[in-house]
Structure 1
């Protein structure tokens, strides 16, 4: 997860819909994702796999459902990776340079930065889990401490502190017209939650590392602590930015490209603003490393089972990582980022010529790139919702099938953990997804349609696999030790003289 990047990017997009309800949107996002931790926690206890969600769903529902989820899970990792340079390098970087020093960058500046935020992280992902985990761990700890302390300072200094930001019915006089255009305050809250929930993309990144961890219980610890700590800090930051900017002025917050940087600068000087910017750039890089690592490992697991071409199952002898699948993820993210920037930009009223002639801080360019970011992020939401609804039902089905005998407090805990909480999480996901479709809002609604189009493709591909290659269906999601299996396969080939 990338809390500093969320602060400067996802919170701005969320505020464009939720306005003063921004803190509530992130609080509820934390709650629903913590419910999802319950799901992953119990699945991780039963099945450690490089396939992550793909392997979990295979255990509960069998091969067909696993293939669909296996195709969708990397989708939302890839589109999230593609979204990073569009906003961070296309909106944030030009806005910072112009705000502090009056430097104007061209509208296309985000394109070469793809090499930094997409391609460079792939190189780090290829060299293995240990070095990238060291980097991400220390960077994340420092980042969280910085955000927690500085947001508290802003809250203590802000004149607008109020718990009414958690009450959707308290703001009709000020934001009534804005909420009405979106379908009411609860619809606005649901749209804001799109970006709150997608801020947590990557929290399940420990799941595909199940085969490479010495102790699978470490996967469960990472899930529990990751969401709790990051969720609390993000809610605190969302509140501090809202009261720091002014609870009655969140319309202008939503239309400003760098509101988080401005709030930090106003309350803590240029050093505070620049430190947030530096953490955000580092956070975006770390986020890209994690997401691409996850997606590459799921492709590896699916190729190993024969679901997708064998090309993706290649494992580097030196690094013991799926380098070819990781390379595919990096290239695909790059293509999607460039295509989306220009296509969504065009439908936002920005021609390709204007992209190369206008300043990066012009309203036309900022609006187009923010729409492109929102489009990709909402596609990620669709993928996340589909995958997690399948996960929630998987944990219910799996534990019904196990028919375990429970005693003591587990008699009460069992139905809550395995049936009630997954169902509640699914219902909240359904609410957010519904609000993203009705009433139609550009580019959110178009993104949902795109996401479901890919779902339809995934289903058709699964049907084709089941019909044309029925022999592989028994292998889907069943192998569980990446490193050991690859070593055994290498020894077998050596012994047979291949």
Structure 2
């Protein structure tokens, strides 16, 4: 393997991995964007949607933890699935990860620049021009683009610091708001009666996609410290820690915003555009609201940075296995896969502008986010099946039954139940999300069939790891 296709080794610490994963989930941005969108469907039960999504992802992180025990690779999920299901499923998983993470890189700036910031400006008597959201997209994708090209060291320093700051701020602020409100009906936000299971499931579209970046640190397996000495377990441990921190912060935040706004007035919450800022200003004053806005803007950029870093390395790993053009397997002077980053950042920018123009920023965000969820469920379904198919490695039969069979099956069934409840019957504009997913899935299926049949069985089970490339 030549030097210009080699990533930096042993430069990302455990807390760097945690920070990358947290930034990929963008907790403060979730509070101002995904919660507002989810509340349009879940209303007062928005905290229930987030609690249910958190529990579902906690079941799913079992799969990430156990798959990472086998290998650490720039391919992330792509490499994990190859160990259990072979090359076709692995390539499809890799393409789905690239699809939904790149779409998310574009989707969040559409909402922040097209809905959140204009609503915030209007509340302060400022009318932003109609084209402002396009300029903001250039900023929210352009900055992560440049940082990602600069290499993993500066990137990881940024996300490690800001991600933990976000968690501390959200948990502390939410607990303070809840203590000030002292709700008379404290369990009402966890009652599905008002909106039914469909309302909760619709809210879970945005709640689950709030956790989309849970595995964004897995493609840093070749750059992380301790992967070889711990057989990859450090990646699984980072996933558990980051999910616990973000899950606690988001459930608390959803509850604080619901009771802080008023549980009987959540229709107006969803229509406000920047309700989180309103609640924070009501209970924490100007500086509390300002801190939320600043952290949300930073969160949107850190999310783009984390997801670009992750998805570009998946593309890099597939190209390094000579299953895509090898130019995407070349790194620059900072050991970053620049060609892969350029392609995905440009694609995210194009999709953001396209869907913002076609549907408007609010509906464009909803369409992109729902398509993100479908792609995520596709990839995680393949991961769950891969874990089930992996041969026993000395675990006790009860451990294997629970962690390698029952939990992956439960997670998969719950994922598809949420999709069914939220998408069927198809309605405008979310029906376009399914079309977008098909537009990515069908070419990916054709291409994987074409390329995977040329691989030997042995190589097909070792995709993504350095030893497999060029073999």
Q: Do Structure 1 and Structure 2 share a fold, with TM-score over 0.5?
A: yes
Q: Residue by residue, what CA displacement relative to the aligned partner does 1:359-390 show, whole Å, maximum 9, x if unpaired?
A: xxxxxxxxxx1111111111100110000011
TM-score norm. by structure 1 comes to 0.85
Q: Relative to structure 1, is the Cα distance of residues 453 and 474 closer, same or farther in structure 2, using a 3 angstrom cutoff? A: farther
Please name the residue that 2:350 is paired with: 335
The question of whether the paired residues in 2 share the 8 Å contact of 1:378 and 1:447 is answered with: yes
Of the three residues 324, 328, 332, the one matched with 1:312 is 328
Please name the residue that 1:158 is paired with: 181
Are 1:224 and 2:240 counterparts?
yes
The question of whether the paired residues in 2 share the 8 Å contact of 1:305 and 1:476 is answered with: no
Please name the residue that 1:350 is paired with: none
Equivalent residues in 2 for 1:189-268, closer than 5 Å: 189-216=200-227, 217-268=233-284
The question of whether the paired residues in 1 share the 8 Å contact of 2:459 and 2:468 is answered with: no
Of the three residues 331, 344, 348, the one matched with 2:359 is 344
Deviation at 1:247, TM superposition (A): 0.7
Gaps of 5+ in 2: 1-24, 228-232
Question: CA separation in 2, counterparts of 1:449 and 1:315?
Answer: 34
SS at match of 1:442: coil
Of the three residues 454, 457, 462, the one matched with 1:478 is 462
Question: CA separation in 1, counterparts of 2:250 and 2:406?
Answer: 26
Of the three residues 450, 455, 459, the one matched with 1:464 is 450
Tell me which moved more, 77-86 or 89-98.
89-98
Are 1:143 and 2:192 counterparts?
no
SS at match of 2:217: helix
Divergent runs of 4+, >3 A:
471-477, 479-482
Of the three residues 103, 118, 121, the one matched with 1:79 is 103
Are 1:124 and 2:135 counterparts?
no
SS at match of 1:111: helix
The question of whether the paired residues in 1 share the 8 Å contact of 2:159 and 2:302 is answered with: yes
Question: CA separation in 2, counterparts of 1:232 and 1:471?
Answer: 44
Equivalent residues in 2 for 1:44-55, closer than 5 Å: 44-55=68-79
SS at match of 2:398: helix
May I ask how many residue pairs the two structures share in their alignment? 440
Please name the residue that 2:136 is paired with: 113
Question: CA separation in 2, counterparts of 1:76 and 1:199?
Answer: 13
Question: CA separation in 1, counterparts of 2:150 and 2:41?
Answer: 40
Please name the residue that 1:356 is paired with: none
Please name the residue that 2:378 is paired with: 386
| Structure with larger Rg | 1
Equivalent residues in 2 for 1:442-461, closer than 5 Å: 442-461=428-447
SS at match of 2:134: coil
SS at match of 1:66: helix
Question: CA separation in 2, counterparts of 1:243 and 1:452?
Answer: 39
Deviation at 1:142, TM superposition (A): 1.1
Deviation at 1:463, TM superposition (A): 2.0
CA RMSD of aligned residues (A): 1.8
Question: CA separation in 2, counterparts of 1:289 and 1:315?
Answer: 17
Deviation at 1:213, TM superposition (A): 1.1
Deviation at 1:485, TM superposition (A): 9.5
Of the three residues 286, 295, 299, the one matched with 1:279 is 295
